[in-house]
């Protein structure tokens, strides 16, 4: 929660990836708030007030996951909304002639997106969703200490650059709306 709050202000892409990870952590504990408190929250060096705040936050997420049918998979509506905002911003940036560097970066990443879709990722998803799924999948592989091919590392580096640029435009647009 403390990390989430900071990331939401500073880097929307990292925030979304973090939120997806929290969803998976909640699932790993069977959406059981008691287990989360005993086995997860207790591992952090938090004072009692922070532990209660973290428990309340995770409890809210558990309730939302139950209500929204996300216990087994998928993403919470709050996270889908962020993805939708990023997809809409991407479309506006691409349609505008005022952001040639963004356009250039998008077309640099597009072949990787096409390749990912060929390899079985959801063909019906937006390019931004495909990029985030690739980033999250790679993050999970790294956490599991699994090997990542040189080609995948290269693709992820390019995708990361592109998503970082999108996140930067998102932050700028929130601070002072961009002109399209």
Q: Which two tokens stand for residue 65?
A: 């996951």
16-62 pLDDT tens trace: 999 999 999 999 999 999 999 999 999 999 999 999 999 999 999 99
The average pLDDT across 71-83 equals 96
**Distance in angstroms (rounded) separating the CA atoms of residues 70 and 81:** 15
* pTM recorded for the entire structure: 0.93
The average pLDDT across 59-71 equals 96
**Distance in angstroms (rounded) separating the CA atoms of residues 11 and 170:** 9
Q: What pLDDT shows up at residue 116? A: 87
């Amino acid at each position: 929660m403390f990390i989430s709050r900071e990331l939401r202000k500073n880097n929307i892409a990292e925030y979304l990836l973090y939120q997806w990870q929290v969803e998976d952590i909640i699932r790993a504990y069977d959406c059981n708030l008691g287990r989360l408190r005993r086995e997860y929250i207790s591992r952090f060096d938090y004072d009692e007030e922070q532990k209660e705040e973290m428990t309340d936050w995770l409890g809210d997420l558990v309730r939302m996951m139950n209500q929204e049918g996300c216990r087994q998979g998928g993403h919470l509506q709050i996270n889908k909304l962020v993805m939708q905002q990023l997809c809409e911003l991407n479309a506006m940036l691409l349609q505008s002639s005022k952001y040639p560097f963004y356009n250039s970066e998008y077309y640099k990443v597009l072949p990787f997106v096409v390749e990912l879709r060929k390899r079985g990722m959801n063909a019906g998803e937006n390019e931004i969703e495909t990029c985030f799924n690739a980033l999250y999948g790679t993050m999970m592989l790294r956490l599991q200490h699994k090997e990542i091919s040189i080609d995948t590392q290269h693709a992820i580096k390019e995708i990361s650059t592109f998503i970082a640029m999108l996140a930067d435009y998102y932050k700028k647009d929130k601070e002072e709306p961009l002109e399209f």
